[in-house]
Amino acid sequence: MARSRSSSSSSSSSGWRYINPAYYLKRPKRLALLFFLFVLFTFFFWDRQTLVRDHQEEISKLNEEVIQLRNLLEDLKNGGGIAGEKMKHSSDGVHAVKNMDSPDNILDAQRREKVKDAMLHAWSSYEKYAWGHDELQPQTKNGIDSFGGLGATLIDSLDTLYIMGLDEQFQRAREWVAKSLDFNKNYDASVFETTIRVVGGLLSTYDLSGDKLFLDKAQDIADRLLPAWNTETGIPYNIINLAHGNPHNPGWTGGDSILADSGTEQLEFIALSQRTGDRRYQEKVENVILELNKTFPDDGLLPIYINPHKGTSSYSTITFGAMGDSFYEYLLKVWIQGNRTAAVSHYRKMWETSMKGLLSLVRRTTPSSFAYLCEKMGRSLNDKMDELACFAPGMLALGSSGYSPDESQKFLSLAEELAWTCYNFYQSTPTKLAGENYFFNDGQDMTVGTSWNILRPETVESLFYLWRLTGNKTYQEWGWNIFQAFEKNSRIESGYVGLKDVNTGVKDNVMQSFFLAETLKYLYLLFSPPSVIPLDEWVFNTEAHPIKIVTRNDRAVSSGRSSGSQESDRQSQSRKEGRFRIHH
C-alpha cells in the first residue's frame, strides 16, 4: 500500500509540471509548440464563429426571400388576390408587387405579411367561434347579432379576403353567402349600417370578382331598404324592418333623421343602378342631395338632425365627427365615383362650400400647436374632436387635387397637420391607442374624453391616403406604430378586442366588423404598391369597400317627384350611431 501511494504521488507531481510556466521557459521548443497550438486553436475558433455569422445572415436572407415568394405565390395562384386583381385592373400591377429589390420594398412586404397574419387570426377566430353571426365576442368565444343576423363580419370581410389573396377563406365565405344569407328578417335595421356594410360589401366584391351572386344579393337587400325614402321630402327614415318595411326614425332623435345616416348611401345606390340598369336606387339617393341643396347654407355646414317631412335642419350640433362625418365624405366621393364629369359637378361644388365651413372650425392648441376641428352649436364652438373626425385628413388630401395649385397646397398642408394631431391621439396614451374623443384646453394640448378604443380605422385611413398622394413614408411608419399597438393591446388568442380604457388597457369583448373591413384593409394597402386598388380606378365607401369608378355623362336627377315616391340618399348611423356604440 505504501508503494502504491508513493507511485501515485509521483505520477501526480509529474502531471502538474506541464502547467508550470517555468517548465516551458527551460524548454523553448516546447514553448514554441504550445504557442503554435494556441494560435491554431484561435484561428479555428474564429473561423467557426465567422461561419456561424455568415450562416445566420444567409438564413435571414433566405427567410426574407421565402416571405416574398410566399406572397407572390399566394397572389398569383388564383385570380383572386392582389396580383390577380391587378391583372384585371392594372397593366403594371403584377410587376409592382414583384419588384422587391429595394430595402423599402422588402420592409413593406414583411409588414404587409404581418397585417395579413392579423387578418387571418381575426378571420379564423370569427370562423371558429361566430360563423354566420354579425360579430365575434372573443373573450367569451361566441357570436352576437348586432345587425339582425346578416353575417355582418363575413360580408364586411369579403373584399379584404379577396384583396389579400386568401382564396380558401374567400370561397368558404362565398358558399355561406350563396346558401345561408337570408335578408327576410323581422328586424329593425339601420339603413345606414346595412347600406355601407352589406350593400357596399357585396357590390365591392362583385366589382372585384365579377361574380354575379354578390350583385344579386346586393339588389335583394337594397330593395328591402328602398321604402325608407318614402317621405314628403325624400329624405329617408333611418330605420326599417327588413321583412315588413315600416320605416321610422329612432325615438331618441325626436323624430328627426340623422345627417350622416341620410346622406351616405349615394355611392352604393348609384353603383347598384349602374350595374343593374335599374335607376330607382340612384334616383332615390340623389334626390336627397338635391333637396338639401335647396337650402344649403353659405358655409356648407349642416346640423346633424334633419326633419324628413320638411327638409329643414333642427337646432343641433355641427360636427365632422359622429352623425355628421360621412355626409361630407360622400359629397366628394360621388364626384370621384362619376369620374369628375359635369353630371356630378354639383357634388364637388357643395363639398367645396362645406370645406370653407370646415376652415372656420380649425383651431390650434397651446403649447404644441396641434390643429383640430371644433364642434359647433349655434354660434358657440366646443373644443372637442372625435377620433371619427380623423377621416378628414384623408378626405382633404383626396379632394385637394380639384383645386388650383395654391388652394390645393393649402388643403393638403391642413390635411397633414390634422393627421399629425390624430396620430398623437394614439401616441399620447399609455397603450398608444386613441380614445373615442379628445378635448382641448389652453396650455394642455389634448386630453382624452371618452377613453374607450373600439378598433376604429379613421386615422389609418387618412395615413393611407396621405401616403398614396404624397409618397411620404412617414405615414407608413405612423401606421406601423398603430398596428403594433393593436397587436400588443388588442390581440388575444381568440381574435381582437377593443379597450374599455386606453389608459389602463382593460379589454372589452367585441371584435368590430369594421376592424376586418377597414382597419386591417387600410393597413394592408398602406404597405402595398399604389397599383393595388389604384385611386384613379376605385373609390372607397365609408366602410372601406372599393367601388369601381364609372364615368357619368347622364343628366343630373330631376328634383321633381310624384307624391308617393319621394326618395333620397343617405345612410344610417354606422360611424355615427352604430359605431358610436360599445359592447362591454
Active site positions, annotated: 193, 325, 436, 458
- Does the CA dihedral 468-473-478-482 come out positive or negative? positive
What's the helix, strand, coil split of the chain in %, to 5?
55, 10, 35
Instruction: Work out whether the CA dihedral 397, 403, 405, 411 comes out positive or negative.
Output: negative
Neighbours of 264 (CB within 10 A): 35
User: How many distinct helices (H) and strands (E) make up the chain?
Assistant: 22, 18
Q: Is 130 exposed, middle or buried (CB count within 10 Å of its CB: 0-12, 13-18, 19+)?
A: buried
d(CA 456, CA 460): 9
- Using H for helix, E for strand and C for coil, what is the string for 386-441? EHHHHHHHHHHHHHHHHCCHHHHHHHHHHHHHHHHHHHHHHHCCCCCCCCCEEECC
3-state DSSP assignment of residue 221? helix
Give CA–CA dist 281/103, Å, rounded: 48
d(CA 393, CA 422): 9
Q: How many CB atoms lie within 10 A of CB 428?
A: 17
Residue 305 CA, chain-centre distance (Å), reads 27
Residue 475: all three cell numbers together: 405615414
**Beta carbons within 10 angstroms of residue 471's beta carbon:** 9
Q: What is the Cα–Cα distance from 519 to 115, expressed in whole angstroms?
A: 10
Supply 15's cell numbers: 502531471
d(CA 417, CA 351): 20
Give residue for cell 401616403.
467
CA 92 to chain centre: 25
